[in-house]
């Protein structure tokens, strides 16, 4: 039997957060419902970040409250970004209100990016997580820990693999031992990775158990993300993120001349993994339907924004 690879679709969060035209809450909900029907393991549904920083995702509670998932069906895990204690309280209220949530905390291997994205140094972000993570674990929440700029930073250039390892170790020091579900998600925020630089990064994590914990979050700026997926698989990575229709990017990783790049398209990601002889449990037709829906809602809200701007 082929080995199983875990897929997270981040399109409702990473895919929409940089979209200037406001996507209606009902369309976000439909997108998540489409994704939940694909067989992916997890859908990163929204963000409990400051709505002043990411206005697009200011409706996180409404999105999660409006979801109508098939009763009795074992669906994917739902997750959401949490930057600080305030965001954690919002996520915990949903989790304890009956919609189990995985939380995703995020920091970076680049000081400049960390400050631009969260108004805090790397050490300060990790200190913030230490305030609420014990309560998250106590509440039985699974946790993803993102390390952005794992290969390169839009402001500082290439990032040393050793710097990524140091941040990862500091994050893992916050997790209790035992059967706690903690994922380390290495973000190639600007799609700079090549198979070679990815090998150098993963060499900083020689332990097999560590590599099984690692997820790769690839953006596809130069069309190299699929070759990085193949290299990741060769090196023991079994968790990957994608966004249907290849949408997304971090608003704080771009400039007006050079906007942040989209994620690897989940269809390309899953196809690449299947071609390499692994299983995902994802239905490609259902994934295509989700991708078509994402394209349709973005086209509609961009057209509405142009019309609104012209009038
Ligand atoms: P700050 O301005 O330093 O925070 O932002 P503050 O504590 O001074 O608060 C400012 C205001 O925001 C206050 O409101 C707070 O209450 C409110 P006011 O008193 O002015 O009315 N506030 C909040 N409201 C709701 N929920 C919250 C929250 N926190 C504060 N959680 C902060 C610091 C971390 C909040 C801000 O920088 C932030 O939200 N940053 C998030 C930026 C972001 O979402 N970036 C994109 C995600 S990361 C990414 O895309 C990379 C990734 O995909 C991986 C990869 O590709 O590499 C994950
Ligand atoms: Mg991203």
Model pLDDT for residues 121-147, shown as the tens digit of each residue: 999 999 999 999 999 999 999 999 999
Q: pLDDT band for position 247 (50/70/90)?
A: very high
Range of the domain at 30: 6-310
Residue 111 lies in a domain: yes
Query: What pLDDT digit, counting tens, does each position of 16-65 carry?
Result: 999 888 999 999 999 999 999 999 999 999 999 999 999 999 999 999 99
| 36 assigned to active site | no
Q: Please tell me the distance between residue 146's alpha carbon and the centre of ligand 2 in angstroms.
A: 9
Residue 8 contacts residue 41 (beta carbons within 8 Å): yes
**Distance between CA atoms of residues 15 and 177, nearest Å:** 33
pTM: predicted TM-score of the whole model, two decimal places:
0.96
Count of domains for the chain: 1
* Residue 121 CB–ligand 1 contact under 6 Å: no
Residue 251 lies in a domain: yes
Residue 20 lies in a domain: yes
Bridge-based pairing state of the strands 157-158 and 152-153: antiparallel
Whether residue 71 is predicted with pLDDT greater than 60 in this model: the reply is no
| CA atoms within 13 Å, Cβ hemisphere of 126 | 17
Mean pLDDT of 264-288: 98
Q: pLDDT band for position 261 (50/70/90)?
A: confident
Residue 69 lies in a domain: yes
The CATH number of the domain holding residue 85 is 3.20.20.70
Bridge-based pairing state of the strands 42-47 and 6-9: parallel
Mean pLDDT of 278-307: 92
Six-digit token string for 147: 């390390």
DSSP state at residue 3: P
Query: What pLDDT digit, counting tens, does each position of 52-62 carry?
Result: 999 999 999 99
Q: Please tell me the distance between residue 11's alpha carbon and the centre of ligand 2 in angstroms.
A: 10
| Active-site residue, from 149, 153, 228, 250 | 250
Residue 130 lies in a domain: yes
* Residue 89 CB–ligand 1 contact under 6 Å: no
Alpha helices of 119-220 — where are they, by DSSP H?
Answer: 122-138, 161-172, 195-203, 208-213
Q: Which ligand lies nearest the alpha carbon of 251?
A: 1
**Distance between CA atoms of residues 194 and 151, nearest Å:** 9
Best residue among 49, 116, 190, 254 to mutate for probing ligand 1, ranked by most atoms within 8 Å of CB = 49
**Distance between CA atoms of residues 221 and 224, nearest Å:** 8
Q: Please tell me the distance between residue 93's alpha carbon and the centre of ligand 2 in angstroms.
A: 25
First CA to last CA across the chain, in angstroms?
A: 59
DSSP state at residue 11: I
Q: DSSP letters of 200-227?
A: HHHHT---HHHHHHEEEEEB-TTS-HHH
Residue 102 lies in a domain: yes
State the pLDDT at residue 311: 42
Residue 1 lies in a domain: no
Six-digit token string for 198: 């990815």
Q: Over the Cα atoms of the chain, what is R_g?
A: 18
Return the H-helix or E-strand segment holding 184: strand 182-188
Residue 305 lies in a domain: yes
State the pLDDT at residue 286: 98
Query: Which residue's C-alpha comes closest to atom 42 of ligand 1?
Result: 117
Among 249, 239, 248, 245, smallest CA distance to 287 is for 245
Bridge-based pairing state of the strands 102-108 and 143-148: parallel
């Amino acid at each position: 039997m082929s080995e199983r690879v875990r897929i997270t679709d981040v399109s409702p969060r990473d895919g929409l957060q940089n979209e200037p035209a406001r996507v209606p809450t009902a369309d976000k909900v439909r997108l998540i419902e489409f994704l939940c029907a694909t067989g992916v393991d997890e859908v990163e549904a929204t963000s409990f970040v400051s709505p002043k920083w990411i206005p697009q995702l200011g409706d996180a509670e409404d999105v999660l409250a409006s979801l109508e998932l098939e009763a009795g069906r074992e669906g994917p895990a739902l997750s959401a970004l949490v930057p600080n204690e305030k965001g954690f309280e919002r996520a915990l209220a949903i989790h304890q209100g009956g919609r189990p949530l995985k939380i995703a905390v995020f920091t970076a291997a680049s000081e400049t990016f960390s400050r631009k994205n969260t108004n805090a140094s790397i050490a300060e972000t990790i200190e913030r997580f230490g305030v609420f993570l014990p309560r998250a674990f106590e509440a039985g929440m699974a946790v993803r820990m993102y390390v952005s700029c794992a290969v390169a930073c839009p402001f500082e250039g290439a990032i040393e693999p050793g710097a990524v390892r140091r941040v990862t170790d500091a994050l893992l020091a916050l997790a209790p031992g035992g059967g706690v579900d903690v994922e380390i998600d290495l973000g190639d925020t600007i799609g700079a990775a090549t198979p070679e630089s990815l090998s150098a990064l993963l060499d900083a994590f020689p332990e097999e158990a560590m590599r099984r914990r690692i997820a790769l979050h690839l953006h596809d700026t130069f069309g190299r993300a699929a070759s990085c997926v193949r290299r990741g698989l060769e090196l023991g990575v079994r968790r990957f993120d994608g966004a249907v229709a290849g949408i997304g990017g971090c608003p704080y990783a771009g400039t007006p001349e050079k906007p942040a790049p989209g994620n690897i398209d989940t269809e390309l990601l899953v196809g690449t993994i299947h071609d390499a002889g692994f299983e995902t449990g994802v239905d490609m037709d259902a994934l295509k339907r989700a991708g078509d829906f994402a394209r349709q809602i973005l086209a509609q809200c961009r057209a509405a924004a142009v019309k609104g701007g012209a009038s």
